[in-house]
Amino acid sequence: MRNQNKQGISYSVVPMGNSRQMFLVGEPEENFTCQSDTQGHGETVPDYPRQIRNLLENCKKTAQKEGFAKNAALMCQFFIADIGKVELVRQIASEMLSFPPGAVMYVPQAPASGKVIAVEIWAISEKPAVRHKVVCSTPLPERVTIIEFDGMRWFFGGGFHAEPSCVGAYNRSLSAFGQLGKQLKKNKFRLDQVIRTWIYQGHLVLPEGKTQRYKELNRARTDFFGKTQFLTKHLPKPYRGVVYPASTGIGADDADVVIGAVAFDTKRKDVIVVPLENPNQTSAFDYGKVYSPQSPKFSRAMAVQADGGCLIYVSGTASITNSESRYPEDPVKQTEQTLDNIAALISGSNLARHGIGGFECSLCNMECVRVYVKRPAELAAVRAVCEQRLPDVPILYVIADVCRPELLVEIEGFAAAVRQTSAGVSG
């Protein structure tokens, strides 16, 4: 089920076993403004409190309307045009929201609409009863959400920053990963159970000494993962491929790095978790050293098959075939190629190639999409392509740098495959 309304909110609801999951994206209804001084004679500036309150009020109403109210949120990512307003967002959220907002991340990326804040929320229904435990992480002010349902245990973590004493892109990235590792261990999860990460890095493609900041991030991720063998208990048998979490590594507006993650654990034997690689793209972890001395260690997507369904976490995807960038300086063709890549990645034939048979999936099965646009002037062109090929899909557009200078667009998302029947495809 999908719904878009006039209050800046759009969302989809997906059944999974005995639960329902909601994927919601939202912005304030309007770009509310105010005068910059109390006399009313200053310049017109964005009204941060009003925009934040409007957004949160509409999110709250939507959650209540669809039965996703008390203790429902799993992960909440705020995208803020001025990261200095984080404390204001925290204060207003704690005042307005009657439910814990889950694993919270404050991402220094401006909404492409020009509004001051946007949000993406993942939530789960409470009926039937779900055991839901929220743990406040320390020393960070953000949260870790641990939830158990249908014999599965999930970790949603957000806002992992480096220790203040760390200096340099490599050290700060490694430290932020280390904070993730500590929270996994604290909550009785292991690194090899991580299925999805988000890495937001400021000044992504700028030089760092004799190298580049993104390349230093890749070096830190490689060292942090080490020889970890991911998800060995849940892979299809036999499985001989390389396994890394799905991931997005994307630019941010400040100079730092912040990381979020999803991890998964279960004793069930019937649950399959498998990374997906695109037949039209070189696996990122196999990229040549010309792109990064330590290749990016992530899979193109991660599929979770359970309870008759298949949910797919799609990594950040760009206009790349094989390992080469395509259509430099053409945002329309880059967006088309990016969506072509996602369509090939999540297709039923590609799922079957990776050991998950009996499903079909296409762009119309995307339930939530995030589009990163490098240059604000190209938003309209990118949006036109996305709205044509992803009709009615909840989409959030933000401004962010992409990992190669020539790439203008990156897209990630979440898909729910549908099971094939003898008569065709069933929902």
Dump pLDDT digits (tens) for 121-135: 999 885 544 554 544
Of the pLDDT bands very low, low, confident and very high (cuts 50, 70, 90), residue 43 is: confident
**Average pLDDT in the 289-317 region?**
95
d(CA 99, CA 73): 8
pLDDT of 135? 47
Of the pLDDT bands very low, low, confident and very high (cuts 50, 70, 90), residue 299 is: very high
pLDDT of 64? 87
DSSP letters for 345-414: HHSHHHHHHTT--SEE--GGGEEEEEEEES-GGGHHHHHHHHHHHSTT--EEEEE---SSTT--EEEEEE
Write down the pTM of the prediction: 0.94
**Average pLDDT in the 310-316 region?**
98
Could you tell me the maximum CA-CA distance found in the chain, to the nearest angstrom? Answer: 72
**Average pLDDT in the 6-18 region?**
88
Q: pLDDT per residue over 218-251, tens digit each?
A: 999 999 999 999 999 999 988 888 999 999 999 9
Q: Which of 369, 302, 316, 314 is nearest to 11 (CA)?
A: 369
**In this structure, are residues 62 and 119 in contact, taking their beta carbons and an 8 Å threshold?**
no
pLDDT of 39? 57
d(CA 419, CA 195): 22
In the predicted structure, residue 138 carries a pLDDT above the cut 50: no
| Phi, psi for residue 308 in degrees, rounded to 5 | 80, 0
pLDDT of 95? 87
**Average pLDDT in the 274-290 region?**
95
pLDDT exceeding 90 applies to what percent of the chain? 77
pLDDT of 256? 94
- First vs last Cα of the chain: how many Å apart? 11
**In this structure, are residues 63 and 123 in contact, taking their beta carbons and an 8 Å threshold?**
yes
Count of alpha carbons within 13 angstroms of residue 344, beta-carbon side: 16
In this structure, of 22-31, 232-241, 417-426, the range with the lowest mean pLDDT score is: 417-426
Q: pLDDT per residue over 363-404, tens digit each?
A: 999 999 999 999 999 999 999 999 999 999 999 999 999 999
d(CA 352, CA 276): 10
Q: pLDDT per residue over 54-84, tens digit each?
A: 999 999 999 888 888 766 788 999 999 999 9
Name residue 114's amino acid: G
pLDDT of 6? 63
Contacts of 55 (CB under 8 A, 6+ apart): 8, 26, 27, 28, 117, 118, 119
pLDDT of 285? 97
**In this structure, are residues 355 and 413 in contact, taking their beta carbons and an 8 Å threshold?**
no
